[in-house]
Amino acid sequence: MLEHTLNTIRLTQIKFNEMNIKPIKTETDYREALERLETIFDAKLNSKEGDELEILGMLIDNYEKIHSPIELPDPIEAIKFRMEQLNYTNQDLAKIIGLKSRVSEILNKKRKLSINMIRKIHEALSISTDVLVQEY
């Protein structure tokens, strides 16, 4: 049993050594990782390069989350953008939130979204609640 475990550890070490996987600590490491990712991008699943691609993707994602976080969009701008994508009018939004008079106030940031409105907008427009509950 112990010998089997040691063999598994050795094989894992060999596999990682072949892949040359290392933490991404610097901008140079990041650029090199992106270059390697581009090289092996079309690797087959469950292959050596496919495994490397998967691990490299996670390392790159982690580095980007730490060093280049993407802020959530403004809730009202997100609503306007989604309405534009769906070709929705203010009247369409009024059907969702229930009050035509409130739409203009909300879109002009003169009235805050209520929890009930957030729920309805999330359901109808598929906008993340994380975006909709932000202060504006």
Q: Quote the pLDDT of residue 18.
A: 59
Task: Give the DSSP per-residue string, 79-129.
Answer: HHHHHHHHT--HHHHHHHHS-HHHHHHHHTTSSPPPHHHHHHHHHHH---H
What parts of the chain have a pLDDT lower than 50? 6-8, 11-12, 14-16
- Contact in structure between 120 and 97 (CB atoms under 8 Å): yes
Q: Quote the pLDDT of residue 69.
A: 85
For residue 69, give the amino acid letter: P
Q: Quote the pLDDT of residue 11.
A: 46
Rounded Cα gap, residues 118 and 114, in angstroms: 6
Q: Quote the pLDDT of residue 101.
A: 86
Q: Quote the pLDDT of residue 134.
A: 94
Please state the pTM of the whole predicted model: 0.56
